[in-house]
Amino acid sequence: MTASARGLGVQLAPPGSEPAGLGRFGEYGGRFVPETLVPALEELEREFRSAWSSEEFRAELAGLLASYAGRPTPVTECHRLSERLGVRVLLKREDLTHTGSHKINNVLGQALLTRRMGKQRVIAETGAGQHGVATATAAALFGLECLVFMGAVDVERQALNVFRMRLLGAEVVPVESGSATLKDAINEALRDWVATVETTHYCIGSVVGPHPYPWMVREFQRVVGDEAREQCRALLGGTDPDVVLACVGGGSNAIGTFAGFIDLPGVRLVGVEAGGRGLESGQHGSSVSRGVPGVLHGARSLFLQDEHGQILEAHSISAGLDYPGVGPEHAELAAAGRAEYANATDEEALEGFELLARTEGIVPALEPAHAIAWLAREAGRSIPKGATVLVTLSGRGDKDAEQVAERLGYDSFR
């Protein structure tokens, strides 16, 4: 079953494999929430199943993705970067969507579901601000009330996106508790949802949280990988890339990309997490590499924890990777050996940021700059010379410009 946007070029692939039972990916996933939220999650699962099997719903979403979000996004060949690294580099350009990142794909789907459920208010959490901007954008488009929770630290380092959200009519609530970053914003969003569940839809921005969110968000984001697979085959004469690479925080852009290639055993899947100040420093966001199984925000997955099971604070120069866990499907892909998870440090991400800008004239967000940095480090090592690598450029770097300028010592930003 496919749905197209009335000749506008967007194709939504058939639904992918769904998790077992109550959202289980192997030993991970599930639904660990207060009883007050169970009816809302059951309603959301029913509505999503019904919508995702509806030609009308999928055609409407495909139309929005084409005419409003700007899909399909292109795959760009990076000639100068490829020459420098000795591997063929292709970029899946999610930075070219409306709002500047992949987040709009998921949010438009959830906004349609919100309307379908008859709710008039949406809440969201955001780290780097891109999901908050996308949610505020969809709320303006559909006439919904919108409240966005954002860690106070992220409010400061992502001031441009805070302004954009407020301009779009959303209320932005700085969260001062804990580390005042993404984890704490999710905590506050969940508290709000418990109190307002009858009238409010919680628009989660990544493949985290209780079932059906990890599955549902993956399905809304799989358009990235499905497009990329066909585009790569057209560009590569019918063959597939050797390596598919994406940054991983909660993991929505990566799982959306991997969805298009996961059934191809010859394609190496690599997710790059935040190495922060180095894994040995304890100040990082590498949940797959250093996390242990636990439950947070309604699901079982891999989380950074101490010996008593207390969640540790994550660190990353990029607000979107500053989360102490990973989506449950990523945890299962790692356990099964189908995907591997590496990391890049803050300093390496800054180098990746500059490298792509200076070789290709493309300024990435700090999140995918981690993937570029890892590629630069591994080209000619674990990635053989001459290999073809597809990198999902999950967002553009406007939001990070002031932060990066300060870190790199530029004195003429203002």
Catalytic residues: 78, 102
Q: Which two tokens stand for residue 125?
A: 């959490």
Parallel/antiparallel/unpaired status of strands 75-78 and 88-93:
antiparallel
3-state SS assignment for residue 360: helix
Count Cβ atoms within 10 A of the Cβ of residue 289 and give its class: 0-12 exposed, 13-18 middle, 19 or more buried: middle
Q: Residues with Cβ < 8 Å from 326, sequence gap 6 or more? A: 208, 248, 249, 250, 251, 273, 287, 288, 291, 301, 302, 341
**Which uninterrupted H or E stretch holds 303?**
strand 299-303
Helix, strand, or coil here: 24?
strand
**Residue 312 gets which letter from DSSP?**
P
Residue 10 φ then ψ, to 5°: -100, 130
Q: 3-state class of 403 per DSSP? A: helix
Q: What is the rounded CA–CA span in Å between residue 87 and residue 387?
A: 5
In this structure, what token pair is assigned to residue 389?
A: 């690598």
Q: How far, in Å, are 189, 230, 231 from residue 237 at the CA level?
A: 47, 11, 10
Omega within 30 of 0 (cis) for the link into 328: no
Q: Is 237 helix (H, G, I), strand (E, B) or coil?
A: coil
> What is the C-alpha to C-alpha distance for residues 139 and 132, in angstroms, rounded to an integer?
10
Distance, in Å, from the CA atom of 129 to the CA atom of 148, rounded to the nearest integer, reads: 9
